[in-house]
């Protein structure tokens, strides 16, 4: 069983007094009882960060699993996302998310995709207001370019705390990572396995060396690179295994070897 202390203590700073757990549980494509069951297993296994979205249609189940878990609300970092086609009804959508999740605030609310390919400045202004009112602790974006982030900053004076983007050894992009850090934006990776080449010999070699599996090597690489990782699984064994990453450490050279698998 994973050490729950370790998984919740590994965090990245979001603001001077708040942090985001580096490992979260992804819930895309989980619905109904399967979603509720998977989130329950994840909380039992030690995940303290849940990633959902209005568009996933499972906020009800995520909220139910959270409530039933007995884990105090303030120990779990909850993220949901505004779909681009809800532009203009941001506040209503936020209220629906809060109601379905059964919480009085979110830890992170993201614009899921740039609305119509724009930066979505008007939506962002609503996000800023919601944060001021305490309905959401942190606000961010997903699938944004650095230029789109800069536009939000220049138009509103508020920079997204997080950009959730596709990230795996294949997507590693040093310039994007450094550019995000310069702006104070935490990179949160999605599809860590789906987007990866799980049979790559560099990854299988490291998995063999450490007696771990390739997904565990990928999760570990994210943690050591300070990138948030949110693996999804519907299977208890995988949910537990994907967070069982605290008994080995990749060397600097091994991290670089994984970085170099990128096609960028
Ligand atoms: N912001 C966005 O636009 C966006 C887009 C995509 C995803 N996301 C978020 O990121 C999360 C993760 O991304 P994802 O769901 O696309 O993909 P993922 O977590 O990279 O991979 C999930 C897939 O890998 C399988 N899997 C999980 N653990 C495994 C293991 N140890 N060994 C082998 N296979 C394993 C899962 O199958 P089983 O379930 O059968 O185990 C599932 O098919 C999502 O759930 C969602 O929360 C956000």
Verify whether residue 190 is a known catalytic residue: no
Gyration radius (Cα) of the chain, Å: 18
Which structure tokens are listed for 162?
A: 């997080």
Hey, whose CA ends up nearest to atom 16 of ligand 1? 191
- Higher pLDDT: 209 or 16? It is 209
Hey, whose CA ends up nearest to atom 13 of ligand 1? 191
Pairwise CA distance, residues 186 & 177, whole Å: 9
pLDDT at 167 over 60: yes
Query: What pLDDT does residue 223 have?
Result: 96
Atom of ligand 1 nearest to the CA of 216: 31
DSSP state of 101: H
Each domain of the chain, given as residue ranges in start order, spans: 4-195+227-244
DSSP state of 34: H
Report the pLDDT averaged over residues 77-98.
97
Atom of ligand 1 nearest to the CA of 193: 20
Going by C-alpha positions, the residue among 199, 261, 200, 191 that lies closest to residue 219 is 191
pLDDT tens digit string along 209-218?
Answer: 999 999 999 9
pLDDT at 101 over 90: yes
DSSP state of 234: S
Number of residues that make up the chain = 264
Query: What pLDDT does residue 5 have?
Result: 56
Does residue 56 have its Cβ closer than 6 Å to ligand 1? no
Does residue 236 have its Cβ closer than 6 Å to ligand 1? no
DSSP, residue by residue, 58-77: -HHHHHHHHHHH---GGGSE
DSSP, residue by residue, 195-206: TS-TT-HHHHHH
112 is in an annotated binding site: yes
Does residue 66 have its Cβ closer than 6 Å to ligand 1? no
CA of 29 to the centre of ligand 1 (A): 8
CATH architecture of 4-195+227-244: Alpha-Beta Barrel (3.20)
CA of 28 to the centre of ligand 1 (A): 7
Q: How confident is the model at residue 7 (pLDDT cuts 50, 70, 90)?
A: low
Residue located via tokens 């059964």: 102
């Amino acid at each position: 069983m994973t050490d729950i202390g370790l998984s919740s203590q590994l965090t990245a700073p979001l603001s001077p007094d708040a942090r985001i757990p580096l490992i979260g549980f992804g819930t895309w494509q989980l619905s109904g009882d399967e979603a509720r069951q998977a989130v329950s297993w994840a909380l039992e296994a030690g995940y303290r960060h849940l990633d959902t979205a209005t568009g996933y249609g499972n906020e009800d189940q995520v909220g139910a699993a959270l409530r039933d878990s007995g884990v105090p609300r303030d120990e779990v970092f909850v993220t949901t996302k505004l779909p681009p086609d809800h532009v203009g009804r941001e506040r209503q959508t936020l209220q629906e998310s809060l109601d379905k999740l059964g919480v009085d605030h979110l830890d992170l609310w993201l614009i899921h995709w740039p609305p119509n390919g724009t930066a979505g400045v008007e939506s962002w202004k609503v996000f800023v207001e919601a944060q001021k009112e305490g309905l959401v602790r942190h606000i961010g974006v997903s699938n944004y370019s650095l230029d789109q982030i800069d536009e939000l900053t220049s138009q509103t004076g508020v920079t997204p705390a997080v950009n959730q983007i596709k990230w795996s050894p294949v997507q590693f992009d040093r310039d994007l990572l450094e550019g995000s850090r310069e702006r104070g934006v935490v990179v949160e990776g999605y599809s860590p396995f789906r987007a990866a080449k799980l049979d790559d010999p560099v990854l299988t070699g490291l998995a063999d060396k450490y007696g771990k599996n390739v997904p565990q090597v990928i999760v570990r690489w994210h943690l050591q690179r300070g990138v948030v990782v949110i693996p999804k699984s519907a299977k208890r064994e995988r949910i537990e295994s994907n967070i069982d990453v605290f008994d080995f450490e990749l060397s600097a050279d091994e991290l670089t070897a994984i970085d170099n698998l990128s096609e960028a």
